[in-house]
A and B are shown apart, each in its own frame.
Chain A
Amino acid sequence: MLTRRRAMLATAFTTLFVVPLVAGPARAQQSQPRLRTIATFSILGDFVKNVGGDRVEVGILVGANGNAHVYAPSPADAKKVAEANIVFVNGLGFEGWLERLVKASGTKAPIVVATKGIKPRERAGGHDHDHGRADPHAWQSVANAKVYVTNIRDALIAADPSGKAAYDANAAAYLAKLDALEREVRDTIARVPADRRRVITSHDSFGYFEGAYGVVFTAPQGVSTEAEASAKDVAAIITQIKKQKAAAVFLENVTDPRLVKQIASETGAKIGGTLYSDALTDDKGGATTYIDLIRHNLKQLAGALVG
């Protein structure tokens, strides 16, 4: 009995782990040796696509409009991770489910933390249970996005040295675009009077934007969308808006907008459009790339704050 069970386990083990390993190199020898990469969410995937160009294939686990905070990986995801040559993650505690997925998939691919070298923001004040936790939404500052890009470039070169020239060129071109984007953001915010740069949004993910560009964001929920707002939190926010005369309230593409609407109607603050925080959108949303996403947010903010 025991031996039969052991034999079954061995078979299962072989099919799960060894077969992909054996199959992996064999496939890599085929004519088009594209590097298989996995990015945990859509924004990171966009960075990898821009740096990798034609030489890499990018699989994305949490797609457009998805919420990576509470994502539940599927067996298909484990398969994708097992077959990947590199796995790109955001880090800073953004993908809580990742560690188990990596273990379960048995992948040998290196895990590259794209936020390496970025100084994490602590969640200041507000919720007690968030103390000591880093804010993972580093991409909301364009300067940080450039760090992501250099990290991705270095990792791709390490995994595929023959493509160094292509990766360097792609990254340089993309970094130049990001520089232009950064200037655009600063110029636009500079046109908003300093005392009107106050915004309420339903999800506390704009800390890096706030730090970099000086627009103050307040949220009725904690740093993770998992926390449910209590009456005390909502009352505190309403009192705060009334006292500080916040100019606008923004909804977001991943959390419950009803609460924000309620707060807006009670305080008379203006409801701006939707700010995109954690995910790119599908074609309908008009933010299919990172640069579009930042431009979209900027337009929404400027429209509501100057208006």
Chain B
Amino acid sequence: MHDLFIAPFTEFEFMRRALAGALALALGAGPIGVFLMLRRMSLVGDAMAHAILPGAAIGFLLSGLNLFAMTAGGLIAGFVVALLTGLVARTTELKEDAALATFYLLSLALGVTIVSLKGTNIDLLHVLFGNVLALDDQTLLLIAANATITLIVLALIYRPLVVECVDPGFMRSVSRAGGLAHLAFLVLVVINLVSGFHALGTLLAVGTMMLPAAIGRFWARDVTLMIAIATASGALSGYAGLLLSFHTGVASGPAIILVAGALYVMSLLFGRVGGLVRQLFPGRHLEA
């Protein structure tokens, strides 16, 4: 038992670092994912990941594999797209999803253009797809700092955010904090995607947000509980995925997401809230 579940982490430092990174990532991404899902913005994470990718690529082209440059590039690209999207959606007839689609596609096309102008064939994929096994001190600190910021800001904007999830019209009628909370939330989405991109790569980073959130949805109706379950299942996927990669030799990033996927399928079938098995065979206590 010890050999199977604990020894990999006590024996190897890189496994401890990977675990720390995965846990920090789960702490920030869990609640963000839940809010994205509740606001029917589940695909926004994916779109934002595409918006970040060119920024990070430009950062890489300008100064190589530099954590600061790539983070700054990703953050700037993400913030610009998030802010423009928010402004357009709130001031014009265009809905949020359409505004986002236009801006992230523009950002992506701009990034690809700049990369191709620069004309290098360095294997960008290796750089843009982070590696959870290669987290150095700087990157770990960045991920941890981002998770901390996320939790603090979420605590501050929690109330307006929840109200806006439930009834945006009401929120707008009683307070102007809704728009501000929404923008702050989008910024948090970007921060967490940049974190995830260092550890897992841009595309899989979205997986650590949305899969745990969907899992939480099948076990709880209450938002707080849903967030707790999402965070816990994100952390569990990180731990189990690393073990899976350690024992079977599959690549670590995908292993983490696949474990989350397995948890999701289990929740889909057996979840207490709307799970398929529950729906087909309602418990007897419901009839009594």
Residue numbers of A with Cβ under 8 A of B are: 62-63, 65-67, 69-72, 225, 228-235, 238, 254-259, 261-263, 265-266
B135 neighbours in A (Cβ, 8 Å): 262
B252 within 8 A of A: yes
* Contact assessment for A259 and B133 in the assembled complex, using a CB-CB cutoff below 8 Å: yes
Q: Min CB distance, B133 to chain A, in Å?
A: 5
* Contact assessment for B12 and A230 in the assembled complex, using a CB-CB cutoff below 8 Å: no
A228 neighbours in B (Cβ, 8 Å): 129, 131, 251-253
Contact with A along B122-147 (1 / 0, CB 8 A): 11011101010111100000000000
B127 neighbours in A (Cβ, 8 Å): 256
* A266 partner, pick from B8, B14, B246, B252, beta carbons under 8 A: B14
Q: Min CB distance, B167 to chain A, in Å?
A: 45
Most-contacted residue by chain A among B11, B12, B126 (CB, 10 A): B126
Contact with A along B2-26 (1 / 0, CB 8 A): 0000001001111101100000000
Known: A238-B14, A266-B14. A225 touches B123 (CB 8 A): yes
* A232 partner, pick from B65, B131, B134, B248, beta carbons under 8 A: B248
Contact with A along B232-261 (1 / 0, CB 8 A): 000000000010011111111101000000
B120 within 8 A of A: yes
B175 within 8 A of A: no
Interface SS of chain B: helix, strand, loop or mixed? helix
* Contact assessment for B14 and A232 in the assembled complex, using a CB-CB cutoff below 8 Å: no
Query: CA–CA, A65 to B123, complex, Å?
Result: 10
Known: A228-B251, A229-B133, A259-B134. A67 touches B14 (CB 8 A): no
* Contact assessment for A229 and B14 in the assembled complex, using a CB-CB cutoff below 8 Å: no
* Contact assessment for A232 and B246 in the assembled complex, using a CB-CB cutoff below 8 Å: yes
B91 within 8 A of A: no
Residue numbers of B with Cβ under 8 A of A are: 8, 11-15, 17-18, 65, 120-123, 125-127, 129, 131, 133-136, 242, 245-253, 255
Query: CA–CA, A65 to B12, complex, Å?
Result: 33
* B122 partner, pick from A229, A254, A263, beta carbons under 8 A: A254
Closest to A67 in B: B123
* A258 partner, pick from B8, B136, B249, B250, beta carbons under 8 A: B136
* B133 partner, pick from A69, A231, A257, beta carbons under 8 A: A231
B17 neighbours in A (Cβ, 8 Å): 262
* Contact assessment for B125 and A262 in the assembled complex, using a CB-CB cutoff below 8 Å: no
Q: Min CB distance, B76 to chain A, in Å?
A: 22
Query: CA–CA, A67 to B136, complex, Å?
Result: 25
Query: CA–CA, A114 to B242, complex, Å?
Result: 43
Query: CA–CA, A261 to B17, complex, Å?
Result: 13
Most-contacted residue by chain B among A62, A258, A266 (CB, 10 A): A258
Q: Min CB distance, B248 to chain A, in Å?
A: 7
Query: CA–CA, A230 to B125, complex, Å?
Result: 17
B14 neighbours in A (Cβ, 8 Å): 231, 234-235, 238, 262-263, 266
* Contact assessment for A232 and B123 in the assembled complex, using a CB-CB cutoff below 8 Å: no
Query: CA–CA, A70 to B124, complex, Å?
Result: 10
Query: CA–CA, A234 to B127, complex, Å?
Result: 18
Query: CA–CA, A176 to B17, complex, Å?
Result: 51
**A-B complex: 3 closest residue pairs judged by Cβ atoms:** A258-B134, A66-B121, A232-B249
Q: Min CB distance, B177 to chain A, in Å?
A: 41
Q: Min CB distance, A268 to chain B, in Å?
A: 11
A232 neighbours in B (Cβ, 8 Å): 245-249
Chain A to chain B contacts (Cβ below 8 Å), 11 pairs: A62-B121, A66-B120, A230-B250, A231-B18, A235-B8, A235-B12, A255-B123, A259-B131, A265-B13, A266-B12, A266-B14
A266 neighbours in B (Cβ, 8 Å): 12-14
* B126 partner, pick from A65, A238, A255, beta carbons under 8 A: A255
Q: Min CB distance, A287 to chain B, in Å?
A: 16
* Contact assessment for A229 and B251 in the assembled complex, using a CB-CB cutoff below 8 Å: yes
Known: A66-B122, A232-B247, A266-B13. A261 touches B8 (CB 8 A): no
Closest to A259 in B: B134
Closest to A258 in B: B134
* A71 partner, pick from B15, B121, B249, beta carbons under 8 A: B121
